[in-house]
Amino acid sequence: MVVFAGVAPDAGLTVAQVTVLATMMLIAHAIPVEASIARQAGASFRTMAALRIGGALLLGALLNLGYTLTGTLQQSNRALWTPPPRDPSWLGWAHGEMRNLVYIFLIILFLLILMRVLEHFGIIAAMIRLLRPLLTLLGISDRAAPLAMVGMTLGLTYGGGLIIQEARAGELSRSDVFCALALLGLCHSFIEDTLLMLVIGGHLSGTLAARTAFALLITWLLAALLRRLPEAVLDRWFFGPRP
């Protein structure tokens, strides 16, 4: 976000272009850390990394095609926050980047506080109850569905940690683990991460609606694929070491 805020004002980007970039960033970021979390739970590191990078490229291309063909969101982007004019000297640059980091920190702090407020008033719990039947239809079992919802709302670290714990206890099948982690990889932290992308100008049609629908569709397809592949193929390409 800091880098984007520094270069976006001079790039002449449209809302559609920023939305495509923001949506791709939401799907494919922190791959070394988050794919390692998935591996700890029993999914293949390389498959999870490829799923997220490939998913980001595919959805980005689809969004760009859709916005271009329909002519929507072609107006110039106006971020909710932009950094002030920069001093061209090295000292001015360093000072400006530190100031940007402070601003980003305050934004993220506000969003974390907002998440705690939503938890306190039971809003997140209500969202979990509403989406749990849908996750079951996608092939994610009743036991794994709440864990996936935690990750979708609070983040892959939270959800992935719970999935690791349940996988080590032998409470989840490897297919459950993989499908839940695939869903989380493509769509997690959909409250605070979406709000962060709104700050730089991303539109909800891509950062929330398209990303969520895409993650649900891909997870459904993966669940159907896992049921048809032989165990040897699953062990080689989809499942990592047992937790």
- Is residue 192 within 8 A of residue 114, CB to CB? The reply is yes
pLDDT of residue 150: 74
Nearest to 139 by CA among 211, 214, 217: 217
The Cα–Cα gap between 115 and 119 comes to 6
Query: Does the pLDDT at position 4 exceed 90?
Result: no
Confidence of residue 10 (pLDDT cuts 50, 70, 90): confident
Q: What is the mean pLDDT of residues 34-51?
A: 91
Name residue, tokens 């991303």: 202
Q: How many helices (H) and strands (E) does the chain have?
A: 13, 0
pTM of this structure: 0.81
The Cα–Cα gap between 208 and 201 comes to 13
DSSP 72: T
pLDDT of residue 83: 60
- Is residue 234 within 8 A of residue 174, CB to CB? The reply is yes
Q: What is the mean pLDDT of residues 220-243?
A: 87
Residue of 238 and 170 predicted with greater confidence: 238
Tokens of 170: 């032998």
pLDDT, one tens digit per residue, over 156-211 is: 777 777 788 877 887 788 888 899 899 999 998 888 889 889 888 999 999 999 99
The Cα–Cα gap between 188 and 212 comes to 9
- The total of other beta-carbon atoms located within 10 Å of residue 233's CB is 13
The Cα–Cα gap between 5 and 100 comes to 8
- The total of other beta-carbon atoms located within 10 Å of residue 65's CB is 11
Name residue, tokens 């495509």: 20
pLDDT, one tens digit per residue, over 58-102 is: 999 999 999 999 999 999 988 776 666 666 788 877 887 788 778
